[in-house]
Structure 1
């Protein structure tokens, strides 16, 4: 049974111009995603993690780093830099039930990703 995805969205301001912010975001996701579309720029979407690895490792430290998720972003120019909007959504596939460990694994990974993204644009 497919469960309602676990989601996290946030926006923040960066002092970087939109084009530079997009370059950094694309470079960061190129390091952690299987692939980043060539047309990704001010907007983009990537899939990170692995359903198989998450099923094998579960909510262990290794599994949390590999939770499958879809991340989308949009960067808008602003007078003093840019504004980045990020949306992260779980992509674990079908499970018979969801445990609190499952939710915590996604929350932990989304916290980590949020921090890393902010660091890229600092």
Structure 2
């Protein structure tokens, strides 16, 4: 990931509603959610949500797929993985033991078992 891409992703997530949307989509897993379901779950007006989804999409954090008359959104976890890797690539001054607690979070089987990732 390039620095500009990381800045765009962080800027997109640096807004409360967009962070809530991304976290909701992560919880939804691979199936994602329709825009209407996201709007209902977060109590966000559809036109406002559309703006936030567009920002997340431009940053590569969500992907959209048309499903008939609605649009279905899911979290783009590969982008988040690249962002976290970019942020931690020089972690702990070359001492990987210091980064073990962070690495263990991502190797935890609980995420893959519960969400199908």
TM-score (norm 1): 0.30
Q: TM-score, normalised by structure 2?
A: 0.31
Which structure would you say has the larger RCO, counting Cα contacts within 8 Å and 6 or more residues apart?
1
Q: Which structure has the larger Rg over C-alpha atoms?
A: 2
